[in-house]
Structure 1
């Protein structure tokens, strides 16, 4: 960006900041149907953003790309919210009553977001009247060739063009606790030695998937290619966690979970041996730039907060593509460890 362009964006951002202040003082704590952040801050809808862009274009006579940049810098983004409210044991470590090979209780799907940027997804998807998206179970289907951003925009007939990678921020709000005891007293009340935690996952519609046509034991069959995304939850492929073929016992595709937390995927772990429910609000932003290899101090700070030390680089957020679905998993390891979840929420902010 040239110096003149930077000056123009800065001036425009100042004008927009004044405009936002006027809107906030006029509307107070009123929010649109997209909801509020809970602290009284105004949360714009898709229509709000479109109207503001039109007003700025007319008032400032700036090129569209400059207006887009101003609105983006002002963090004037629409967002979607999915949440789950149910007090229950979501994950439990193996003990003498469970087979050591049984991982079904250790890794539990908890919640998923709505497709990124597809603000009229329910109007064009046949899944609109099915089980709510946050309760629909995941199917272990490995990904294949991906759709382009144009494939989604043509399908949903959006009134505005959506960026190929529009995600700007993800906010995870989790209320949970572990079993309330552990054998290492010095870890009590800290995040050290915690073996109950939450990890992020990722689903994506793909043109091809081996699970749609054949198993690895039938390589002669070719994968079928879809002309456009179906937008059906049953057709989503799982990018994270890894999906692999289990031929010896289950003869099916299964989710493959690591024993230890993944430092680039761990959203939050519970306070060790805490009997009371604790609320954690974890924010991942596209501007995060903590490299755990270069900035050891910042990475250590994330660890002390109960996060994965490699979750502060913004990569997951920046790499999300139009139509992607973010998932949240509840985890527990080893005998007696249990992850009690009271509620969980995913807010996904994106640029248009």
Structure 2
């Protein structure tokens, strides 16, 4: 028995849609030159406070778990307190100039000069700059606990010992936007515009603590966001002691090279227990 005309599909099928790329699909090289999306430095998840960590530890112990196992669970879950410092001050660092260049000829100041030792910024202090070398941001002390103020400068909590777990470095920056090496455009090869971290202990830099964490895109046309996570295996953190501070340095080398940073952040994650 044939189908009636009213039951036959008379509408044409909807046009096929173009498949969308998965979120994890690699970006094309053109993305290195296209305008960046708004900076992500303002998007953070609020880490647990020390009181939260203590409370959850008590809950797990109440359930009958041995303390060692409870702390292992918290460590594996990355249930750590965090102290975050960020800056949205723009500065251009030129390879051939001392200090940073600010638009309208203003003097470059980080805004943290009052919270670091004055001796650190003079002579052979740990924040002494030079040509193509300027400190941009200093973290809260290693071992800080955020509690009510996630940007505090306190160390520990009373006499409580804290262990650094992880440090996250964020930057939003670009180089001078040109070079004589077109073959490297859009890559990170032969980029002489970069960022370093070091440890500040008192007013001195900890020997051997300075390491490169990120290069700018070679001849990048727009600022790019980068995030770098330093685990406890990182050579800088291997030297860290409670009370040390992470310093973010803006660097440029060789004539013509510069480093323009618009935003930066350092988050220090700590916990009141050692590595599981």
> What TM-score, normalized by structure 1, do the two folds share?
0.51
Counterpart of 1:38 (choices 40, 43, 47) is 43
Cα displacement string for residues 8-52 of structure 1 (whole angstroms, at most 9, x for unaligned residues): xxxxxxxxxxxxxxxxxxxxxxxxxxxx9836x562121111111
Q: Does 1:79 align with 2:78?
A: no
Offset, 1:281: 0.9
Kept after mapping to 2: 8 A contact 1:88/1:342: yes
- Which SS does the other structure have where 2:183 is aligned? helix
Counting only pairs closer than 5 Å after superposition, residues 149-188 of structure 1 correspond to structure 2 as: 157-158=158-159, 161-163=160-162, 166-188=163-185
In structure 1, distance between residues paired with 2:266 and 2:181: 32
Q: 1:200: which partner in 2?
A: 197
Q: Where do 5+ consecutive residues of structure 2 fail to align?
A: 1-40, 98-128
CA change 1:350–1:47 in 2 (3 A) is same
Q: In the comparison of the two structures, how many residue pairs are matched?
A: 199
- Which SS does the other structure have where 2:89 is aligned? strand
Q: Where do 5+ consecutive residues of structure 1 fail to align?
A: 1-35, 96-102, 134-151, 206-235, 243-261, 287-312
Q: Does 1:92 align with 2:94?
A: yes
Q: 2:133: which partner in 1?
A: 107
Offset, 1:241: 7.1
> What TM-score, normalized by structure 2, do the two folds share?
0.64
Kept after mapping to 1: 8 A contact 2:82/2:146: no
Offset, 1:118: 3.0
Greater C-alpha radius of gyration: 2
Q: 1:315: which partner in 2?
A: 235
Higher-helix-fraction structure = 1
In structure 2, distance between residues paired with 1:75 and 1:122: 20
Give the aligned CA root-mean-square deviation in angstroms.
Answer: 2.9
Q: Does 1:330 align with 2:276?
A: no
